[in-house]
Chains A and B, each alone.
Chain A
Amino acid sequence: MRNDEVDFALRPPQNSDCVDCHDRANDRHPVHRFKEPRFLQSLEVVDARSCMGCHTEHSGARVSNNGEYCVACHKDMTIKKDPITPPHIDLAHQGRWESCLQCHDFHNNHKYRAPKDFSERIDLTTVKNYLRDMENPYGAEKVVKAKKER
């Protein structure tokens, strides 16, 4: 007896398909967190409940959107003793959402430290190219390596 619907390889990948290989406890933005009711409005901007909300499965582009969706959750952020200049709150007020990934590794799986000096951020073109599956500016060394395909 089968427990699930028959899979003829026509259904889109599910989170569990991704997590089978890309599972790690250190993910700063795990998809399950976005299933909480408080993310209702954010989900109208980006469906972060699904890996497919941002990624396409191994199709030549690392991220299928423009990577500027941090605003969906972080628009009201306040950081005490903000270590960077200009402070995060100023960047948010200026709508500089393209700059988030210039300093921050979204899933936090690279051995990389965000710069304290904003002028040392990664070049925006390099980030955009990374989203298209080009060179990784956060460093080649992963904290947790993906499991091999079965």
Chain B
Amino acid sequence: MPKTLAVLMMDAPYEQTRTTTAFRLLDAALRNGYGVRVFAYEGAVSLPLTLQKAHPNAIHGRNAEEEAHPTPHVWVSALMHLAQTKGLMFDWVNCGLCVDERGVTDVVPGVRRGSPADFWKMVAESDNAVVIPTR
């Protein structure tokens, strides 16, 4: 049975480099054959928000396609797809209170609503855990 890692993320999209690092870590875990459980807390619940839109860059004269602006919800979907193709677990739980505070209701299919107790369960059911705190 593949090992599983639990990861807690806190930063909102487009705020910190560590969001990119965290996504790279999730990607590396899956590519190395690990299942992944993610608990998104505070601003991180907005990462799978499907209302995020790529935009053009008027300063550099690039349209939206040329700009290829990254949207974290696409990364979440891509990680889910990667896990599916590799037959690995990828479970993403958004903190419910954090969701309500921010009105983040339109999220990537498969993202679940939960509470910090779910993170406790994730840690208990995983081989290891890492908390990526906000700065």
Answer yes or no: do A and B interact: no
Question: Which residues of A pack against B, CB within 8 Å?
Answer: none
Question: Which residues of B pack against A, CB within 8 Å?
Answer: none
